[in-house]
Amino acid sequence: MKLTIAFITLNEEKNLPGAFNNIKEIADQIVVVDSFSTDNTIQICRDFNVDILQNKFEGFGAQWNYVLNSGVCKNDLVMKMDPDERIDDELKKEILILKEKKSIQFSGFFIKRRLLFNQLLTPVSDKILRIWENGSCKFSDVIVNEHPIVKGKLSVLNGELLHLDSYSLSAWVNKQNNYSQMEAKMHSLNHELSYKPNLLGNSNERRMFLKKYFDKIPLSIPLFALFLYVQNFSFKYHKGLVEWIVGRIFVQLLIRGKKNEYRRKKIEI
């Protein structure tokens, strides 16, 4: 079996060389759909013999569905990656073993992703669906926080995907400014979420419930900070985790401020 690894990009010249070098042992094809970058992103892709498409960005879900529907992904398996992610050695070995099979009994595979925040490795991790059989996936069509939807049996790989959450604190702040803008716009215009909000549902439905009603919860910000710390296994001081929690609080305050600004001034965020 062969593997296509796909990226969507906008001005990713700092991340792409490391990303492409990281996957050269396992990728039979690399696909990039770019949102008309103004830096050296396209030239870097050409230097690495990457298959390049360009498409106007209308939202993360729409852009990923464009990738999957374009016909550019030619292989049996497709993997979604972000330019600031890296595959560890254990996961590479698992993928190579997977590629040796003539067929597989699963339609998709979850991968554990661990966060490296401000160059500090944290205990923060999540399991995300990132590899699937070509043709079996579509994405929730939302502006931000898109999710792949794969029909069929799913499994889990044991290796890790390391998320290098921005190469500097300034870059992280700029990224969160853009993210919070899209998030505030989605909420203020009552766009649909990736899943139906349900406090008693599965983890994705609970997450959407909190996303929709977070502002209405009394003491939501301190409770959010406490939840993040307890969720990530430790009552001990961990510098990387504490810095990440402070960052997440900053993002929530930024989203809240932009939503309030939108409601007051009726401006296009």
Lowest mean pLDDT among 128-137, 143-152, 258-267: 258-267
111-134 per-position pLDDT tens digit:
999 998 877 888 888 899 999 999
47-96 per-position pLDDT tens digit:
999 999 999 999 899 999 999 999 999 999 999 999 999 999 999 999 99
pLDDT for the residue 30? 98
pLDDT for the residue 259? 81
- Model confidence at 199, pLDDT cuts 50, 70, 90, reads low
How far apart are the C-alpha atoms of 113 and 86, rounded to whole Å?
9
Mean pLDDT, the chain, rounded, equals 87
* Global confidence as pTM: 0.81
Higher pLDDT residue, 218 or 192? 218
Domain residue limits, the chain: 3-165, 169-265
81, 19 in Cβ contact below 8 A?
yes
Mean pLDDT of 88-108: 94
pLDDT for the residue 269? 45
The rounded percent of the chain whose pLDDT value lies above 90 is 51
Rounded to the nearest 5°, which phi and psi values hold at 59?
145, 155
- Edge-to-edge strand list for the sheet holding 108-117: 51-54, 29-34, 3-9, 77-80, 120-133, 108-117, 154-165, 85-87
What 3-state class would DSSP assign to 92? helix
141, burial (CB in 10 Å: exposed 0-12, middle 13-18, buried 19+): middle
Say how far residue 29 (Cα) sits from the centre of its chain: 20
The architecture CATH gives domain 3-165: Alpha-Beta Complex (3.90)
Angle between helices 169-188 and 239-265 (to 10 degrees): 40
39, 63 in Cβ contact below 8 A?
no
How far apart are the C-alpha atoms of 17 and 161, rounded to whole Å?
17
pLDDT for the residue 97? 95
